[in-house]
Amino acid sequence: MKLPPVKGHLPVPRDVFPKREGNRKVKPEYLEATRPKSKAELAGQPPRSAEEARHRLMAAARRSALASGLQGLYVRKKQREKRRREAAEANRKANLAAATAPERLDEVLTRPTVRAATALNTAVVPDPNRFAAAEEARARHQQREELKAEARRDALAQLYVAAQSFIVDEAELEARVNAIFTPDYHKYAAGGRGESIWDLHGAPISVAELRQEAMGSSNNLTEAQRAPVIKTTHRQKVVAEELTGGKL
């Protein structure tokens, strides 16, 4: 059975041998200060009971385990540092050898020939046609600006024409709202038989009908008899209006 993943973060392992302390923790003085013997043991007195003898034996085992554990960790640290130094030295030697290595023979044989006079001549020669190119660029820029100005004039003219039907005060807005939002608006707009906007303008065109119009197989007699050139012209006009942002 697959065990569920354990979420969380492991604590950062503590450095047992800080660099500033060196090998202080593997010296006998540190071990004696960490797990000192009792005053009776230091005085050479025998244990007074079996329980005290057992405690002395366990304390000696802990001191021995601590000493062997610290010695093992210190040896592993020195080995790890030695491997790191050897790897760094190997990388340094490899980089130095690659930097000072002679050029490969395939690069020498396939290098293009460059004349010494050409290699030493690093000055940038001005383009002799730079003034003509600048004049052409100025003319293109002027043409673009004229097209933008013409587009702005067309947009302003369209806005001026459309402003005739703008609603500019609350009275006109109220009259327009009262004229449109009436129960029988669609009925009179559709010749007395309409009940909704679909009766006035018809149902929205579907994707199938659009596809039939594009393929020339529409059920609508007007659309079926319309020439392809008229459809193409209409599409181009719609695209041009989208690109220019104005009505054509």
For residue 2, pLDDT beyond 70? yes
Percent of the chain clearing pLDDT 90 (strictly above): 27
For residue 189, pLDDT beyond 70? no
* Domain identity same for 157 and 189: yes
* Domain identity same for 223 and 190: no
Does residue 129 lie within any of the structural domains? no
* Domain identity same for 191 and 220: no
Residue 186 sits at the vertex; the CA angle it makes with 180 and 188, to the nearest 5 degrees, is 100
Decide if 246 contacts 155 (C-beta within 8 A).
yes
Q: How far apart are CA 15 and CA 80, in angstroms?
A: 13
Q: What is the pLDDT of residues 101-132, one digit of tens each?
A: 998 889 888 888 877 777 777 888 899 999 99
Q: How many independent structural domains does the chain possess?
A: 3
Does residue 142 lie within any of the structural domains? no
Q: How far apart are CA 229 and CA 237, in angstroms?
A: 12
pTM: 0.39
Owning domain of residue 228: 205-248
List of residues 6+ apart from 194 with CB closer than 8 A = 186, 187, 188, 200
